[in-house]
Amino acid sequence: MNRDKLKSQLTNLGIHAILISGALFMVFPFAWMILGSLQTFHETTLGTFLPEQPMWSNYYDAIVAMNGAKPCVFDPAAPLDILTREKGCMIVRYFFNTMVMGLGTVLGVLTTGTLAGYAFARMNFPGRETLFKLLLATMMIPGELTLIPNYVFMVWFPTPESWIATALNLPNAEPHNWIDTYYALIIPWIATVFSIFLFRQFFRGIPNELFDAALLDGATHSRFLISVVLPLSKPVLITSALLTFLGSWNALMWPMLVTNSPEMRPIQVGLRSLITEAGTQTQLLLAGATVTIIPIIILYLFLQRWFVEGISNVGIRG
Amino acid sequence: MTVQTPGLIATPKPRHAPALRLRRLQEISLGYLLLAPALIILIVFEILPIFYGVGISMCDWKTGAALGVEGWQRWIAPCVSFIGIDSYTRAFTDPAMWHSLLVTATYSLISVPVQLGLGLLLAYLLFQKVRGQQAFRVLFFMPYITSTVASAAIWAFLYNPDKGLINSILTRFGVPEIRWLSDTTGIFQVLLKPAGVDLPSGLEGPSIAMLALIIYTTWVFVGYDITIFLAGLGNIPAELYDAAKVDGASGWTLFRHITFPLLSPTTFFLLMLTVIGTFKAFNHIWVMTQGGPGDATTTASIYIFKQLFQLNRYGYSAALSFILFFIILILTVFQNRFAGRRVVYD
């Protein structure tokens, strides 16, 4: 008996040893980032681990560096000035743009995903399976292929307001394309095959009995969707929103391509230019990286259950 | 009176037929209506670009540029010179294209087993109801949510030969300095060097830079695999384990005969996802090595991107994208046929 106990304790120890080394491997770069962001320039060149004295000023310097070497000011009399390049603070603007882009995309994805997911999961119409398979196949298309055509579309498409203005022959109406607008940052991303797939899987998991009961009561599909399915769908809505928001937050290539002015750029593009500008000033770019990572990590820590649940759902029923 | 069950809808009595037909018509049109918003977006930004891409790939865009079309218009300049499938035939005789495919295959062949193996191991251990399971899960998943720009910056710093932490730890153990991201020497060569062996270039194995890249991408994605594996493990009925334990099975036998076969749908799903992912991989490689040093980490995606943005060969890069797309498609179909058949569904 005692030997068995010893054996199981040893196994436990072994399991923990592997898991802890795994966790260290995962966390170590983050620890290194935060510690590095607090070092002096001299310390970063020596491969130091712990800074002798934390240089919190690195964060201020990084924010100023992002702002074109000009200190950030907040004027309580004109709070919105903080979003302008001349009077404000670019990092605030970058975060603001990311929020607009993220929230807009999330709203779109939830709408299109719910509707299409429901149609694919619960309705009968000719071509349903073929259409769905076709959509899944588009997931295999390398992004480089659609990049140029989509960029060209951004140049072609008029913004709705400028289009209406020119159509109505309003004075000063000038056609304006989607480059440097939130349209370009949001609209191409408001429907993704992945989230349609997520919604479809979830809706297929709703018991048929509920559906049959509603049908007997004379409920139509739209009634059923609104009053039965949606209230049950909190998990898939939250998950899909989170994963979409995460994608927006971390987007780089597309925003870089379709924005020219710094005022329209999201935070990752801002970080990217800080990294190019900071050059060898490692402590500054690590401070910048920390600032952009912290909000998403906090969001994740609070809502991690939903991240995990959503990703798992795809796996199980996939 | 019998209660009408949904099954009756499929075999209606004749006199209900017109009403039911109307209902059916309503369902069909509502179905398409619900699909419309998503389909419009996907058609405009996913499907149309493909056809547009076909057009681009059959044009000689250099000629368009020579006509003096400038600015963004050079990208939509009329197809002045239709060259048909020339770009495709050229691709097949382009050694750099074959090299990029070889790099992609190497990257995939090492990444996929490492990622899935490590993911399965950690998930299986986590699943043994260890203390702090939740905390481990959270930590393992963190790299996945971190932006590529930020994580690549951190790792570039870690890999820095002179001031990076990895080398400063390794040198303490007497390992000579490694130029992680800029060394194209094969790892077998590096390992055998102390023994005085000089390998021919074909046998050197993947380069140090490739290894560094794979370590980094494993760090990013393994948390995702763990999460999916854990979900799969949770789906295996506990009674099966109990029954096997009664029969005296334990440890490896349990894993070999219960866990692994019953986990196969999850493993298969992840395998497909990871293979497609590694063949499409772009962001992490681009921000980390930009395909360098030389072309040591120039995967197909990187090669296409370079053709596009550094050399402005729109037609050629579109043709290459199609070739890559078909390779991924064939791989997926192949996996579905052969691996898919061996999956155990309960």
pLDDT the model gives residue A318: 37
CA B339 vs CA B230, B277, B345: distances in Å: 21, 18, 13
Q: What is the dihedral of CA A307, A312, A314, A316, to 10 degrees?
A: -170
Selected residue with higher pLDDT from A265 and A149 = A265
Could you tell me the pLDDT band of residue B7, with boundaries at 50, 70 and 90?
A: very low
B163-191 tens-digit pLDDT: 778 888 888 887 777 888 877 777 777 77
Nearest CA in chain B to A245: B145
Could you tell me the pLDDT band of residue B2, with boundaries at 50, 70 and 90?
A: very low
Could you tell me the pLDDT band of residue B162, with boundaries at 50, 70 and 90?
A: confident
Check pLDDT > 90 for residue A215: no
B113-124 tens-digit pLDDT: 999 999 999 999
Of B131, B168, B227, the CB nearest to A312: B227
- Which of A218-222, A260-264, B100-104, B238-242 has the least mean pLDDT? A218-222
Contact A26/B163, CB-based, under 8 Å?
no
pLDDT the model gives residue B238: 83
B185-217 tens-digit pLDDT: 777 777 777 777 777 766 677 888 899 999 999
Could you tell me the pLDDT band of residue B4, with boundaries at 50, 70 and 90?
A: very low
Task: Give percent of chain B above pLDDT 70.
Answer: 86
pLDDT the model gives residue A90: 87
A48-87 tens-digit pLDDT: 778 888 888 888 888 888 887 778 777 777 777 777 777 7
| B 93-112 near A (Cβ less than 8 A) | none
CA nearest neighbour of A256 among B145, B309, B71, B291: B309
The answer to whether the CB of A41 falls within 8 A of the CB of A281 is yes
Residues A277-281 have a mean pLDDT of: 78
The answer to whether the CB of B270 falls within 8 A of the CB of B228 is yes
| A 244-273 near B (Cβ less than 8 A) | 246, 249-250, 252-253, 268, 271-272
- CA angle A110–B139–A251, rounded 5-degree value: 40
Contact A147/B318, CB-based, under 8 Å?
no
The set of residues, in sequence order, having a beta carbon less than 8 Å from that of B25 and lying 6+ positions away, is none
Selected residue with higher pLDDT from B66 and A100 = A100
Say which residue the tokens 């009995």 belong to.
A209
Could you tell me the pLDDT band of residue A314, with boundaries at 50, 70 and 90?
A: low
pLDDT the model gives residue B342: 64
CATH match of B94-342 with 1.10.1280.10: no
Separation of first and last alpha carbons in chain B: 40
The answer to whether the CB of B207 falls within 8 A of the CB of B296 is yes
pLDDT the model gives residue B106: 92
Tokens of B166: 């990895």
The set of residues, in sequence order, having a beta carbon less than 8 Å from that of B41 and lying 6+ positions away, is A108, A112, A187, A188, A190, A191
- Taking the Cβ of residue A298 and every Cβ of chain B, the question of whether any pair is shorter than 8 Å is answered with no
Could you tell me the pLDDT band of residue B62, with boundaries at 50, 70 and 90?
A: low
**Chain B positions in Cβ-Cβ contact with residue A44 (cut-off 8 Å):** 163
Could you tell me the pLDDT band of residue B340, with boundaries at 50, 70 and 90?
A: low
Of A131, A300, A315, the CB nearest to B228: A315
Best B157, B268, B333 residue to mutate vs chain A (most A CBs within 10 Å): B157
Question: How much is the mean pLDDT over chain A?
Answer: 85
B283-292 tens-digit pLDDT: 888 888 888 7
- In CATH, the number for domain A75-317 is 1.10.3720.10
Question: Distance (Å, rounded) from C-alpha B81 to C-alpha A151?
Answer: 22
Best A148, A187, A314 residue to mutate vs chain B (most B CBs within 10 Å): A148
Question: How much is the mean pLDDT over chain B?
Answer: 81
Question: Distance (Å, rounded) from C-alpha B35 to C-alpha A116?
Answer: 5
pLDDT the model gives residue B67: 53
Question: Distance (Å, rounded) from C-alpha B346 to C-alpha B342?
Answer: 13
Of A120, A142, A187, the CB nearest to B301: A142
Could you tell me the pLDDT band of residue B79, with boundaries at 50, 70 and 90?
A: low
Say which residue the tokens 């993947």 belong to.
B206
Selected residue with higher pLDDT from A179 and B314 = A179
Check pLDDT > 50 for residue B8: no
pLDDT the model gives residue B9: 47
pLDDT the model gives residue B63: 47
pLDDT the model gives residue B346: 45
Contact A311/B224, CB-based, under 8 Å?
yes
**Chain A positions in Cβ-Cβ contact with residue B278 (cut-off 8 Å):** none
Task: Give percent of chain A above pLDDT 90.
Answer: 19
Contact A152/B72, CB-based, under 8 Å?
yes
- Taking the Cβ of residue A317 and every Cβ of chain B, the question of whether any pair is shorter than 8 Å is answered with no
B34-52 tens-digit pLDDT: 999 999 999 999 889 888 8
- Which of A119-123, B7-11, B252-256 has the least mean pLDDT? B7-11
Check pLDDT > 90 for residue B128: no
